[in-house]
Amino acid sequence: MRNSFNTAGFSEVVHETRDDPAEAWYAYQGKAHYSPRRGLSARNGPALLGRVKSARAFSLDLCDPGQDGDEPPAASDEPAPIDLALTGIASCSLKTLVGGGSARGVVFDTVEMLIEYGAAEGRSGHTVNCQFEVGGPAGHRLIAELLDQVQNHSPNHKTLTAEIPLDVHYADGSGHVVHERLSGVEPFASRHRPARRRVRWISGVQLESYPVPATGPPLRIDSPKQTTGVDWGPNPQEHLLMGMASDVAANLGRLSREHLGRQLRWEVAAAGGVDIRGLLHADPAAIVHLQDVGCTISVPGNLEDEPDLLSIARTAVEQSEVSNLICRRQAVGVSLKPPIYRAPSWQRGRAAS
């Protein structure tokens, strides 16, 4: 075990998926609630890891970007939906890098990423910029190879660069459901509000995500433990799906105020799955990015009697920045700061003496 990363456990998963392909399907959920009184919040749902159900529960109070209309959101210690999405993207990339390095015998000192959305788009032509910083004895060539693995085998990074259809369900209390499929090439009316996060690897599969500048507490990221261990946060895919659900929910709150002149409560659930064989290089034909991505909106009224509700719900999805990130192919910039080598403490002590 290197970097507290259980590489033997992942080897076992590879063998399991070869014997039983159903063990390779990992399904995740992200849910959001908009309340006129309590604001915007998000939580994860139970995860399905192959044939094992992992019923973990984490919830977050969020900054509602819809409160400010088209103006930049007011300063807040709480993360916004786009912060959850960026956290999911960066943490998935870092976990892939550390896992790949650990399998090759690399010991890391520090691994982190500055991820930017929108802010540098005009300068670089990239919608998302990912700047890695890796500390430790590994050489630049090896780190560059690991970054190539990230771009080819990190599920959330591959999601950014793929065109993914989105299945949307609009459901009211009477049981009436409208289903639509948005293709990955359909334009989303995204407003591209700039956002930045700094995500740091802590140990094993645990990471933290900080706002930039660091004005609030970090978000914690972990991976589900199937039978043992304690999770300290949602995993990268859950952060990404929670970001989409809460982004749509915030739009629903804003649009109902603007077009109906009244406040309504909204529930949104997002779901998606990963074929873990793509991440683990177990099957070259396996799809790496998120699959079966869906969004279900619980409409607070009757769809047949109030057609405006369906129109608002459709617009909320179409204007979602996170839906745009997930479903449309993005221009992503990847860069690496010069590697940093910090001598072990015992060597520094000897040098000082």
* Nearest Cα residue to 253 out of 37, 31, 36: 36
Cis ω before 213 (30° cut-off from 0): yes
What does the longest C-alpha to C-alpha distance in the chain come to?
81
Residue 16 clears pLDDT 70, i.e. is over it: yes
Flag whether the pTM goes above 0.85: yes
Predicted pLDDT at 339:
55
% of the chain at pLDDT higher than 90: 65
| Residue, of 222 and 353, whose pLDDT is higher | 222
- Whether 271 is in a domain gets the answer yes
Identify the CATH number of the domain in which residue 75 sits: 3.30.300.20
Domain that holds residue 130: 16-352
Of 43-57, 79-93, 268-282, give the range with the top mean pLDDT.
Answer: 79-93
Predicted pLDDT at 341:
52
Going by the DSSP 8-state scheme, the letter that residue 241 receives in this structure is: H
Predicted pLDDT at 78:
93
Q: Give me the mean pLDDT over the 33-56 stretch.
A: 93
Going by the DSSP 8-state scheme, the letter that residue 80 receives in this structure is: P
- Express each pLDDT in 173-210 by its tens digit: 888 999 999 986 666 665 667 899 999 999 999 999 99
> And the tokens for 205?
């599969």
- Express each pLDDT in 245-290 by its tens digit: 999 999 999 999 999 999 999 999 999 999 999 888 888 899 999 9
Residue 327 clears pLDDT 50, i.e. is over it: yes
Predicted pLDDT at 193:
78
What is the tally of structural domains in the chain? 1
- Express each pLDDT in 280-315 by its tens digit: 888 889 999 999 999 999 999 888 888 899 999 999
In whole angstroms, what separates CA 74 from the centre of its chain?
A: 23
Predicted pLDDT at 177:
94
